[in-house]
Structure 1
Amino acid sequence: MAERFTRPKRGSWIVGVCAGVADGLGLPRSLVRLLFVLAAGAGGAGVIVYFLLWTFTRAE
């Protein structure tokens, strides 16, 4: 079974969504944060996705 996505309590700036995504995908956290910021500026999709991930994922 696939490992569940979690938001880390340590090493996060706000609630850990970007850190959890980065860790889960094996990407640098700064890159994921930048992508969310760019997506937020391009029509607000990043804000919606961030909110959904925050709402439906559990913290470590």
Structure 2
Amino acid sequence: MGKYTLFIGLFIYAQFVFSHHALIGTVVDENNQPLPGANVLVVELNKGTATDGQGHFQLRG
């Protein structure tokens, strides 16, 4: 499997999202298949994580 790196910039209301203490989601490709090991970044907050084997991620504020 090729390397997939996905950068997600959440520019609008990033502070609002983190005021709820967590950002949880799943990263998928164009075929709606989960992407394990994808990088998820919130640029304004300098926070990031990688997805698990099923493409799930969780960022705590």
The structure with the larger Rg is: 2
More strand by share: 2
TM-score > 0.5 by shorter chain: no
Shorter-chain TM-score: which interval? Answer: under 0.3
Q: TM-score, normalised by structure 1?
A: 0.26
- TM-score norm. by structure 2 comes to 0.25
